[in-house]
Amino acid sequence: MIASPTLLFRVGETMYGCDVADAQEIVPLRRMTRLPGAPACVRGLINMRGTIVTVLDLGVRVDPQRAPAREGSILLVRHGERLVGVVVDEVLDVRGLDIEAGDAATAGGALVRGVASVDGGAVVILDLGALITQVLLS
């Protein structure tokens, strides 16, 4: 087990988490400029203080049948030299969690770092860098 400060967020009915250091900033969901021909999970572009940011919708990424989020937050993640946004339905909390790597991590490929338990429920711990790489290279 690895004790780690984890940012908890919700997408649909599922609780997810990521290393708190992965999220540089959290901003409210805002209007985006759509990119023609981009995959459905790429919501578009926003301007963050002069920086153009590509925004991905995590809900659409994990469930392609899901409609894009109309409310929620954008987690801004530093990915190499780029800043990338990830839309989530709700940011919940930051907690120190004991993360168990194992079958859940290998089942989801490199996108899932492990699982943890919060208030009796399971939390899927994501590797946002791997998610961003996978989407941007597809």
> What does pLDDT average to over the chain?
87
pLDDT at residue 107 in the model: 43
Structure tokens at 102: 């194992």
Determine the pLDDT at residue 106. 42
Per-residue pLDDT tens digits for 67-93: 888 999 999 999 988 999 999 999 999
Q: What is the mean pLDDT of residues 19-28?
A: 93
Q: What is the largest CA-CA distance in the chain?
A: 43
* Average pLDDT for 99-105: 61
Residue type, 30: R
- Whether 104 shows a pLDDT value over 70: the answer reads no
Q: Residue 90 sits in which domain range? A: 2-137
pLDDT (average), residues 117-136:
88
CATH number, domain with residue 75: 2.40.50.180
Count structural domains, the chain: 1
Q: Give CA 111 to chain center in angstroms.
A: 10
Give the percent of the chain with pLDDT over 90. 53
